[in-house]
Structure 1
C-alpha cells in the first residue's frame, strides 16, 4: 500500500503543474508540510499565484476546501462558527444549534492573515495546535486531515497586524515565494491569456493523506543526524551557542519545536523524493523554511540587513555532523 501511495505523489505534482508554472521548491515545501501534518505560511508579493497554488492543490486532492479572506472586521465567530436559536416544529421547543464556520474543512486558505486583529488571529491557535475548537464551553473536533495554508503580503504594512511569535511557531514551515524566471514568466503569460481551460483531476483522498502522514513518521533517520539537528537548533540561541555571529545578531533562538519540525519535514522531504531514509540533503533543504520564522533577529542585525536565512546558511556550513567545538 505504501508503494502505491508513493507512486501517486508524482501524479499529484503533475496535476498541480497543469496550472502552476515553476515554483518547484515552493510546491515541494507546501507538499512537505501537508505530508508532515503541519501548517504552512506563504509570503510573497501580489500576483505570484499564492492563492491559485492553494486552490489547485485542493482540486488535486479529494478534500473539502474553504477560503477565508481575513479583513480588519473579521470576528472569531466568523471562522469558528456560532450558535443560532432554532425551534422544533413538532414540540414547539426552542434550542441552540451550533452552525459550523469555514474552519470545518480539510484545507483552509487563510488569505492575508496579517490583515485581521490579534483577537481573530488567536482563534486559529487552538485549531492549528489541537485540531479542535471550543465554543460556549463545548469542544468540536475538526475534520482530518486539517491543513491551514496562510498567505501574507510583505510589502503593504499599513493596516496590518504582525503575527505574534506564538502563532508563527504554530506554522510548521514559513515559505517565501519569489518572482518566476524569464522562461517561466513567458510560459505564464502564454498559458493564461488564451482560451485554453485546464481541468485538475483529484489524485489523493483523505484516507490516502492520513496513510502518507503515518508513513512519514516511519521514515528512518540516523542518530547522528538527529544529534546534528539538535546542535543546529541549539546554536541558534545566543545563550547556548559558541558561534560569535549568533550572539551578535540573534535576540531569541529557535525552541525544541524547531528540532521536531526539522526532523519531521526532513522525513517528509525524503518520502516526497521516493526514499525511506532521511539524509543530510533533506535536513539542509528544510532548514530554511523551518527556522526563518523561529529565529528573532536583534536591532543590530536589522540595521545591517542580516536575515534569519543568513544565520541558517552559516550554521549549516559551520556545525559539523560530528560534535566539534565551534569557534
Structure 2
C-alpha cells in the first residue's frame, strides 16, 4: 500500500477501536463464558465446577423444560400467522389512502414504542375476568366472560392478543414495501382482467415477498424470546417467581425465556440457564437458516 492508504487504514481501525473493545468486553466475552458455564455446576455463590454435558442431559428429563418449550411453540405458532396476516391486512387498507395515511400510520405504530411494562399493566386491566373491558365488550353480544390469564386454554391466546397490539412496525415496513411496487404492474394486471384478489396474489405478494420473509423470520425470533410481558403477568398473579411458584395456572404462562430466568436467578442454577440459552440459540439459528433458504428459493421463483 501507499503511505497515504496505510495511514487511512490505521485511522479507520483507530476509530473502530472503541466499538471493538465494547464488543469484546460486553458481547463476545459473555457469549464465550456462557458456553463454558453451560458445562459447569455454577451459581452466584460458588465457583464453577466442570460437569461436562450434565446440564444438557438433566434438562431433557425436566418436565418444566418441556412444558416451557410446548408453551413457546404454541405461542409462536399462533402469534406469527396472526401478526403477519393482521399487519398485511392493515397495510393493504392503508395503501390506497390519499388523505390521513400519515396519521393512521402513526396511530398504528405508536403502541410498538410504548414501554413493555406500562402496556402490560394496561392489558392486565383489560383482561381482568371480573371487571375487564374485554369481557364487558363480549357481554354486549351475549358472550360469557373468559378468565383470560387464569384459564390454561385461554392464556396463550391472551398473550397473542396482547402482542398483536404492537405490530405497528411490521405494518409500516410492509406499507413501505408495497409503495415500492411499480404502479404499471397493477395497471397491466387490470388491463388483463385481473381483479383485486388476483392483483394481490400475483402482484402484491411477489413484490413484497422478500420483506415478508424477513418479517416472518424476525417474528419467529421475537416470539421465542418472549419474556417481559409474561414475567410481569406472573409477578402480578403470584407476587414472586420463586422456584416453587407456578407461572399461571398449571404453568400455562411458562415461556422458555421465563423458565431460563427462573433457573438463573430464582434457583441460582447459572449452568443450567446457560445451557438453556445455548439450546435456544442453536435451535433458532438452525431454524432461521433453514427457513431463510427454503423461503429464499420461493421468493426467487416469484
TM-score range, shorter chain: under 0.3
Q: Which has the higher strand share?
A: 1
Judging by fraction of residues, say which structure has more helix: 2
Larger Rg: 2
With normalisation by structure 2, the TM-score equals 0.26
TM-score with structure 1 setting the length: 0.24
